[in-house]
Structure 1
């Protein structure tokens, strides 16, 4: 089985379920988006969270995807940056306990990153993200050795603010013979750095994951047409269309896979990350595109029924049994 390494913001999610969306307006956080915040805004959110019940979980888009793959039994690694503090140790321990090779660099300048996560009554999640130490991962921190022994590099789109670091990671990954996978991350991130996304996907990226909002922000088109445009730029294009499932295109092959029906959506945090985890796990096993997408749908369907991105061990065993039954 091929191994996969993730490159991303090493973040811990602090999640809270909110009664209505008024607090999002108060905190100036657009619903459904990921907004970078400074220490002052983090302090305001923490004051608000101190009056609410919160839940702690390891987070970050690439971190979530790698954790999902590790729980399925894939060989995984992760590159990121934390501080030697509570959140940094929490993140490291979470990776190691699932067998992931943790290439976590240490920052002495900033505390570990935190993603304050507001979960609306409809399950939509909104992030106020303080990157902290995660933002200090630089091109010069990366080495060829980090990428050796892996077949795929999974990059989260949230990293695109550092062009030099992303390009260095891709250069080293390609030198080590890896295929590069990019998750577009958030529609507002795509809108804010459209030209760089275009450069990456046209020139370097092999596999692209986008939801319909991200795909529209990138192409200006609805999902089907967006899929067609993105697929012409890379090897495999995946556009996730929420409750309608996913669209996948590789060359002339196109697959449509429905979402798994769920009783109630509790929290959509990690849905896209877990879809990517299932899809890429399938690729490392050599499965068909359809089976890869079905595994992704199973994982996404399970994670939206819990708060955060942690599934119990017995649930993972059930998922593995389901995967064995897929044609």
Structure 2
């Protein structure tokens, strides 16, 4: 199964604040916020939703196709992704702009305050998907992740026009986009990914009810944080999957991307939806135990031992042959 992942390509600057944001925000002074946080640590990591997802799929043994725009400073990052099984030949390199940058501070309660510089990401709107499909011999699924909004709309429109199955994953861009564009992004998608807040925001902005949205997509996948994930399909009972026990909680950045990587890998292996979601939740657990979205190590024996503990030996037997090791 050939899967392309479109979305932002960025470097992450991750900082840790030892206090709590809530203790520093004065409710009746929010219109004039001026705060500076003294942080304990700074980690500079590779990031962006599309490479995060592709990296996870790569370490699970697949070869996803990364589609996005980066700057001339992407060379080292490209080498890293190539070594971890990602096809980076379809990344557009800007001649004038730097790779996008995500700057995020996480407090003691794992709340986050972040900003995002788009940079070369703005050129993603110039990428055509058909040449990508021609290069790799066709595409079975395109995940359209958070990116330049015009690029997201263009990729969605091209998938519908050319009959390429696609997954809508607007995530952070939901706050910026209006209802009309969001409707364009999700209608006809084979899969719609959101978290609980994004699900409510999607309904609010589009004016569609949960039932109406479900009727317009094949499968609705809603992540529930520590509670796991819910999968909805028209006329079927929801599938609920819990999360494995964490060994530690280091940093939530990239957890949602890791879930998508595992879920898409499960689809590629032609596993049932429940099993695909379990793979996603297990991979997401590895990420939350590590600082940085691509710094975790997948040791297959350890992965399967924890997977079996969380979901049972029968589930583990279905996955083990695909994961190898």
State whether TM-score is above 0.5: yes
Structure 1 residues 316 and 104: CA distance shift in structure 2, 3 A? farther
Partner of 2:178: 193
* Deviation string, structure 1 residues 152-205 (Cα, Å, up to 9, x no partner): 111113432x1xx3343234445665311121313x734642321122212x32
Cα pair 2:13 2:42 within 8 Å, conserved: yes
- Tell me the CA shift for residue 25 of structure 1: 7.7
Q: Distance in 2 between matches of 1:13 and 1:284?
A: 28
| RMSD between superposed Cα atoms in Å | 3.0
Mapping of residues 221-236 of structure 1, within 5 Å = 228-236=211-219
- Tell me the CA shift for residue 303 of structure 1: 0.8
Q: Distance in 1 between matches of 2:53 and 2:45?
A: 13
- Partner residue of 2:110 out of 123, 129, 132: 123
Structure 1 residues 189 and 312: CA distance shift in structure 2, 3 A? closer
Q: Which runs of 5+ in 1 are unaligned?
A: 27-44
Partner of 1:244: 227
- Tell me the CA shift for residue 295 of structure 1: 0.8
- Asked if 1:144 corresponds to 2:130, the answer is yes
Partner of 2:16: 17
Cα pair 1:82 1:105 within 8 Å, conserved: yes
Q: Distance in 1 between matches of 2:227 and 2:100?
A: 33
- Asked if 1:308 corresponds to 2:297, the answer is no
- Tell me the CA shift for residue 151 of structure 1: 1.1
Mapping of residues 1-327 of structure 1, within 5 Å = 2-22=1-21, 53-85=41-73, 88-102=74-88, 103-139=90-126, 141-148=127-134, 149-160=138-149, 162=150, 165-174=151-160, 177-186=163-172, 189-190=174-175, 192-202=177-187, 204-220=188-204, 228-253=211-236, 254-315=238-299, 318-319=302-303, 322=307, 325=316
Q: Distance in 1 between matches of 2:279 and 2:48?
A: 21
Greater radius of gyration (CA):
2
Partner of 1:33: none
TM-score (norm 2): 0.80
- Tell me the CA shift for residue 71 of structure 1: 0.9
Q: Distance in 1 between matches of 2:255 and 2:226?
A: 11
- Tell me the CA shift for residue 277 of structure 1: 0.9
Partner of 2:250: helix, strand, or coil?
Answer: coil
Partner of 1:32: none
- Tell me the CA shift for residue 316 of structure 1: 5.1
Q: Distance in 2 between matches of 1:80 and 1:25?
A: 38
